[in-house]
Structure 1
Amino acid sequence: MVDDKFLERLGIEKGTRKVVNHEERGRVLRAMDGCTYKAAAGGSLSNSLVALARLGSSRASSYPELRIAMAGSVGSDPLGSFYRQKLHRANVQFLSKPVKDGTTGTVIVLTTPDAQRTMLAYQGTSSTLAYDSDLAEIVSKSNLLIVEGYLFEFSHTIEAIKQACEDAKKNGALIAVSASDVSCIKRCHSDFWDIVGNYADILFANANEARAFCELTSEESTVSAARYLSHSIPLVSVTDGMHGSYIGVKGEAIYIPPPACIPVDTCGAGDAYASGILYGILRGASDLKGIGLLAAQVAAVVVGQQGTRLRVKDADRFPTYDISSPSSPKSSTGGGDGNYRGPKRAVPPSLEDLLSDCLVLPLRLRFYINAKPAPPSNSKMLEGPLFVTWKKATNGSEPRLRGCIGTLEPRQIVSGFKDYALTSALRDRRFSPIQSKELPYLECTVSILTEYETALNHLDWEVGKHGLIIEFTDPDYNVRRSGTYLPEVAAHEVLRYLAGWTQLETIDSLMRKAGYNGTITESLRKKIRVTRYQSTLYTMHYGEYTAYVKKNRGEINGAPIVNGFKPGQ
């Protein structure tokens, strides 16, 4: 523990991280004579891995133990041996061999009475990370790869990071990147986005780091940064100290309130938070709000102690934390509800119940009737990407879109029908929620997506046959953008306008849908990565639904059907 005057005497700015050389490190250590300090095997990534290992091996957990390993660079000196031994005792395997005659890197963490930490990093051998065949084999068999942001400061490690990400991606592993430090992001902004935009499934950052990623000013809110980043990265975790944290998904931000705690040392708080997020994901939890609350509790424990690592006795109480079911607290302003559904509007329960029944049951039955081969009655539900589309037609007019939401990730088809039927009917932000009076005029279509293929170029697909997923880098903001059109979208425009959409018009429209507002050039089109797919459609009109219900039940929700609609609506 040091005071502000100590930092001032050494000319060190409080709350920052500075890279120092061997001489500067010696000067600080000499100035610390007489101070109380403790040697610990630390580091951002290792802090997260130790916490994750302790959560994953807790005596209170009913899950199999998580197997955690770390690749890094340490010297053959006593500090290197100390580091490896500490990780081994924490159930984290250290994969890399020590660098012969190398000096292990160190970080001096200076904590002031207000719990702020100032870090002085001496790189030592940490800049010599090697990605060899043995490490590549381990990465190719892993479920999760985590890349520490500090590595981006070393230009020759970028290729190693890319190769590791490629190997992980081929195996279907999740890839997480920690932002690590504002100054590091600013110095290595292009390299960060090259990796994050092309590979990352998860990004961990604090508020200032998130703003640095987006090149936003300090006046911009944390939630704005979380939303911005979540357009390019599937899941974004942004911590903001005593103000709480946000989990960003698909342009929305779920607010996670901070637990009550008395801060002792904030060093390692973000690392602990990341371990909680990763623990929830690896255990298969789907409720992001619940995962975020767990992560915040883990971070609060570390903030309330001296030292950066989650203790075993504290880890034992977290695996029983309920992250298996959707949490009840409301989401943040304009944020999601914790289940990838977008902002939730106030809808009369009776309407939601009716929509839950309306069309969905017959659609499920129709899918099973048409599925070839038909699934056994006791088998697991079929899985696949799906979209649910609602359209409305009045007085014989052409059906008009009233909502369309789905997922490109595999979902259990039967449960997915119900979830996305409700979500697209009530929570598509482009439209007002469907009202009960509209039900007689509705039709519902479920699109089951199949036959995924990587297109040779942006024109290697057919209008009306293929759906498209495009991915490209926005040259104006250096961010990754993506979007999808179902096969029927371009085909619908062909019928509507006779001349129809050409392939280029479809691509250009999809780029706009993805959020790109700049000039569309042929060279930019050629840089687009296109995945094409096909879909099988299952459609039912409200009239078909009422006929089905009348045949099987004779009524809807307890009231007889009159002219295809329930009286009193």
Structure 2
Amino acid sequence: MKQYDIYAIGNALVDTEIEVSDADLERFGIQKGFMTLVDEARQNELTDLLQDHLVASRRASGGSACNTVIAASYFGAKTFYSCKLAEDDNGRFYLNDLERAGVDYLPAFAEHPGTSGKCLVLITPDAERTMNTFLGISATVGAEQLHAPAISQAKIIYIEGYLAASDSATEAVCQLKQQGQANGAQIALTFSDPSMVNYCQDNLRTMIGDGVDLLFCNETEALDFTGKSTLAEAVEALKPLCKKFALTLGAKGALVYDGEQSYQIAAHAVQPIDSNGAGDLFAGAFLYAISHGHTFPEAGALASLASATLVTQFGPRLDPTQYEAIRQQVLGA
């Protein structure tokens, strides 16, 4: 029996959320709804400009794959996370967050001089999240962050699309895929953000290589990646690249494909206030469910309810007490 349900690699970022208006984004020259990589000076400039705005949540350990494995862990999965952190306050905070969630990691990944990555998450009244990210030491994630013993003990390898912004991380992902496949793991990948599809597609395609077992993406990413004009066309264009997929559709729910049949997953009518982390939580709930023997429709239902619950509150993840209640509501005791 494998020790880990999920082994993941991603950028380690400490999130800070701030409520802003569309006018604020326009005034500061920020592209809405996208992740933009910035240097530390630009991020500090934005923080200063927005210092009189309401900080909507406490800081949280973030990054797409981190949010996903923490969610999966709270649902009951055994997880391991590879990343790169500095020996600073944010790095120590980040590791404490992983430990609270029960996520395993290698301490040596955090023993580096420098600055840990930070993400300024700007939330507009329509609940859209816009991210300005300073990668810090995460910009140099590479093969040395891979932990072969944990990889060999994982059922599923989960890869964050944001790593496509780095050539060293892209190479590490290719090595990770090879090691995982050699040990019988399923390979799952998320596109993470439209910016990765639009500006880092060559590295994304390198990561995908001859295909992955499971792809997570949203409708915009699917259309942009395939260059198709309709969702149906995009779905058919994605199938040669992935054996299975989970495609989120916002208020329209999700479409999941188990390799043989597609299933429409119903949405939940909620009043959203913050979409930050919703896709990551969807993936975490979904991966937990399929790694514990549940069907794609069951996994989709769990992921849909979890992400719908998340968008009604601030922050990239649920309160620890919410996961079990959601799991029982969908999957039973």
TM more than 0.5: yes
Partner of 1:108: 120
Is 1:73 matched up with 2:84? Answer: yes
Deviation at 1:132, TM superposition (A): 3.7
The whole-number CA distance in structure 2 between the counterparts of 1:12 and 1:151 is 22
SS at 1:204's partner residue? strand
Partner of 2:187: 175
Normalized per residue, which structure has more helix? 2
Aligned residues, how many? 311
Partner of 1:50: 70
Q: 1:123 to 1:251 in 2, by over 3 A?
A: same
* Match for residue 3 of structure 1 among 21, 28, 34: 21
Deviation at 1:19, TM superposition (A): 0.8
Structure 1 runs, 4 residues or longer, greater than 3 Å off:
249-253, 321-324
Q: Answer yes or no: is the 8 Å Cα contact 1:230–1:252 preserved in 2.
A: no
* Match for residue 304 of structure 1 among 303, 312, 316: 312
The whole-number CA distance in structure 2 between the counterparts of 1:130 and 1:290 is 35
The whole-number CA distance in structure 2 between the counterparts of 1:312 and 1:282 is 20
The whole-number CA distance in structure 1 between the counterparts of 2:87 and 2:182 is 34
Deviation at 1:289, TM superposition (A): 1.8
* Match for residue 238 of structure 2 among 229, 236, 240: 229
One-letter amino acid matched to 2:156: L
RMSD: 1.9
One-letter amino acid matched to 2:304: A
Q: Answer yes or no: is the 8 Å Cα contact 1:230–1:251 preserved in 2.
A: no
Q: Answer yes or no: is the 8 Å Cα contact 2:142–2:168 preserved in 1.
A: no
Partner of 1:23: 41
Deviations 1:41-63 (A, max 9, x none): 1111111111111101xxxxxxx
Partner of 2:202: 190
More displaced stretch, 89-98 vs 203-212: 89-98
Partner of 2:226: 214
Partner of 2:268: 259
The whole-number CA distance in structure 2 between the counterparts of 1:255 and 1:221 is 16
Deviations 1:83-117 (A, max 9, x none): 11111111112325225321111110000111111
Deviations 1:423-459 (A, max 9, x none): xxxxxxxxxxxxxxxxxxxxxxxxxxxxxxxxxxxxx
The whole-number CA distance in structure 2 between the counterparts of 1:110 and 1:315 is 25
Write out aligned runs for 1:455-534 (5 A): none
Partner of 2:168: 156
Q: 1:223 to 1:292 in 2, by over 3 A?
A: farther
Partner of 2:7: none
Partner of 1:284: 293
* Match for residue 102 of structure 2 among 44, 67, 91: 91
Q: Answer yes or no: is the 8 Å Cα contact 2:165–2:203 preserved in 1.
A: no
The whole-number CA distance in structure 1 between the counterparts of 2:26 and 2:32 is 9
One-letter amino acid matched to 2:113: D
One-letter amino acid matched to 1:33: Q
Deviation at 1:316, TM superposition (A): 1.2
The whole-number CA distance in structure 1 between the counterparts of 2:264 and 2:309 is 20
Deviation at 1:322, TM superposition (A): 4.8
TM-score (normalizing by structure 1): 0.52
Q: Answer yes or no: is the 8 Å Cα contact 2:156–2:187 preserved in 1.
A: yes
Partner of 1:41: 61
One-letter amino acid matched to 1:311: D
Gaps of 5+ in 1: 57-65, 325-569
Partner of 2:3: none
Partner of 1:239: 248
Gaps of 5+ in 2: 1-18
Q: 1:101 to 1:129 in 2, by over 3 A?
A: same
TM-score (normalizing by structure 2): 0.88
Q: 1:251 to 1:208 in 2, by over 3 A?
A: farther
Partner of 1:120: 132
Partner of 1:453: none
Partner of 2:215: 203
SS at 2:308's partner residue? helix
* Match for residue 135 of structure 1 among 121, 133, 147: 147
SS at 1:263's partner residue? coil
The whole-number CA distance in structure 2 between the counterparts of 1:164 and 1:253 is 29
Partner of 1:327: none
Q: Answer yes or no: is the 8 Å Cα contact 1:115–1:266 preserved in 2.
A: yes
- Please tell me whether Structure 1 or Structure 2 has the larger radius of gyration of its CA atoms: 1
Q: Answer yes or no: is the 8 Å Cα contact 1:223–1:253 preserved in 2.
A: no
The higher relative CO (CA closer than 8 Å, separation ≥ 6) is in 2
Deviation at 1:133, TM superposition (A): 8.8
Q: 1:250 to 1:91 in 2, by over 3 A?
A: closer
Q: Answer yes or no: is the 8 Å Cα contact 2:84–2:138 preserved in 1.
A: yes
Deviations 1:261-312 (A, max 9, x none): 11110111111111121111111113x2222111100111111111111222
SS at 1:74's partner residue? coil
